[in-house]
Amino acid sequence: MNTEYDLAVIGAGIHGAGIAQAAAAGGYRVMVLEQQAVAAGTSSRSSKLIHGGLRYLEQFDVRLVRECLRERELLLRIAPRLVKLTPFYIPVYRQTRRSSWEVCAGLSLYALLGGLHAHARFHRVMRSQWDGLDGLSQDGLQAVYQYWDAQTDDAALTRAVMRSAEILGARLFMPARFEEARLDEHGCEIHFHDNGVSSSARARVLVNAAGPWVNQVAARIHPQPARPDIELIQGSHVILDAAVVDSIYYVEAPQDGRAVFIMPWHNGTTLVGTTETPFTGSDPAQASPLDSEQQYLLAVVQRYFPRATVKISSSFAGIRVLPAGKSGIFRRSREILYATEREFQPRMLAVYGGKLTSYRADAERALNRIKQSLPSRRRLADTRSLVLEPQN
Ligand SMILES: Cc1cc2nc3c(=O)[nH]c(=O)nc-3n(C[C@H](O)[C@H](O)[C@H](O)COP(=O)(O)OP(=O)(O)OC[C@H]3O[C@@H](n4cnc5c(N)ncnc54)[C@H](O)[C@@H]3O)c2cc1C
């Protein structure tokens, strides 16, 4: 063993890539271990939205929404080929749980948190224009609101962030599986399999950004850090074989009132999601949509777009890491959590949960948490102005 890094990051999902980029921009020496491929985990199985998260206002997550809206604006600027502003429609029916005034109040607060500029504007669609809404059912329809948020390709965005980190000097080992680490007075010693060959390295700080594998990785760190109580929740999406919509529709599932997005997707298809089902398997890589989840999503499309003749052509499932709790899954906070093994000069930081949208701000915050453990280095760049380009 001879290689010394400032940070060793486990996982090249959006959080690992984001922390690697922020650290490399700060001038630190960074290694990243990814067992499979960049964005192989949750970061290719999300709803692919870069959004403030309108519905988090129902949980009063005002800080999260404000930050996500700020990051959305930044990403529209630094990643214009990867993040696209898109019209979103919210239909309100006689039977839906959220009334027209509640939706209007939520959108007003959303606009306020978005700084009231052009992308924060919303309006009520005139009744005379309803026929132009992709065949949206008008049975019981009372109002339709249009606002703006953004759509991305999550895997492409993650690859772009990882590439940016590499350009700044981060070293990506892939496929490289983290095996174990020992924390000592100078930092940590990491053992991994690099392309099947046993290897090791030293780092000042180990960053556990293994997404739904976070506690499996934590269990291999000695001495073992406390592991927060979490629940793994599966969210499934289906891809329909034809285009149902040109814009994004944010609807209430008639079955249980949960929010579901119906979105245009690549090659004239439609992406629909998501569900929330406790994941009980032992390996997150095995997550796959249940038949009942697929039928649930298809029923939502049939309710709102009864004229669409579509079939499910494929499906995928991602896993959310949520703090364990008594409140319903849908109501639990989506705020990211960091865990370190000690308050002062931590040698390990673990990332729990988080949003694709706020990865950059979250990465800067993670770096701040461990900065007292890192040597002083000359900053190379600022992540707020590093342009992100799609990779081939
Ligand atoms: C269904 C769903 C929909 C979502 N929709 C949105 C959305 O629309 N907008 C939004 O902003 N956010 C959304 N999110 C949240 C967002 O997608 C996630 O927070 C984010 O992708 C998690 O990224 P991550 O890097 O933490 O984890 P992951 O992307 O899972 O990355 C972890 C990586 O660690 C690697 N790894 C694990 N163990 C090891 C090991 N031992 N050695 C080496 N590598 C290892 C894995 O291979 C994986 O690549 C959604 C989440 C879900 C589940």
How far is the centre of ligand 1, averaged over its atoms, from the C-alpha of 41 (Å)?
Answer: 5
Q: How much distance in Å is there from the Cα of 227 to the middle of ligand 1? A: 18
- Residue 237, pLDDT > 60, answer yes
Q: Is the CB of residue 370 less than 8 Å from the CB of residue 22?
A: no
Residue-range domain boundaries for the chain: 4-43+155-229+334-373, 49-151, 230-324
| pTM (whole model) above 0.75 | yes
Find the range with the poorest average confidence among 37-41, 114-118, 306-310.
114-118
Q: State the average pLDDT over residues 186-202.
A: 96
pLDDT at 147 (0 to 100): 97
> Can you give the pLDDT at residue 61?
85
48 in ligand 1 pocket by Cβ < 6 Å? yes
Ligand 1 pocket test, pick from 31, 32, 33, 47 with the greatest ligand atom count within 8 Å of Cβ, gives 47
The confidence score (pLDDT) of residue 192 equals: 98
Distance 285 CA to ligand 1 centre (A): 11
211 lines ligand 1 (CB under 6 A): yes
The pLDDT score that the predictor gives to residue 392 is 74
Q: What is the pLDDT of residue 325?
A: 72
pLDDT of residue 120: 86
The CATH architecture one would assign to domain 230-324 is 2-Layer Sandwich (3.30)
| Domain range 4-43+155-229+334-373, CATH architecture | 3-Layer(bba) Sandwich (3.50)
Ligand 1 probe mutation, 43, 180, 282, most atoms within 8 A of CB: 43
Average pLDDT value for residue range 266-294: 95
Res 190: pLDDT: 98
Q: Whose CA is nearest to atom 26 of ligand 1?
A: 211
Sequence-ordered alpha helix ranges (H) in the chain = 14-25, 62-78, 100-113, 154-167, 214-218, 291-304, 359-370
In degrees and rounded to multiples of 5, residue 206 shows phi and psi of -100, 125
1, pLDDT greater than 70: no
CB 261 within 8 A of CB 47: yes
More confident residue, 190 or 229: 190
Question: Would the CA dihedral through 284, 285, 290, 296 be positive or negative?
Answer: positive
Nearest alpha-carbon partner for 250 in 57, 104, 91, 115: 91
Q: What average pLDDT does the segment 289-314 reach?
A: 97
What is each CA distance from 211 to 69, 184, 292, in whole angstroms?
23, 25, 25
Average pLDDT over residues 14-33: 98
What is the pLDDT, as a whole number, of residue 312?
A: 97
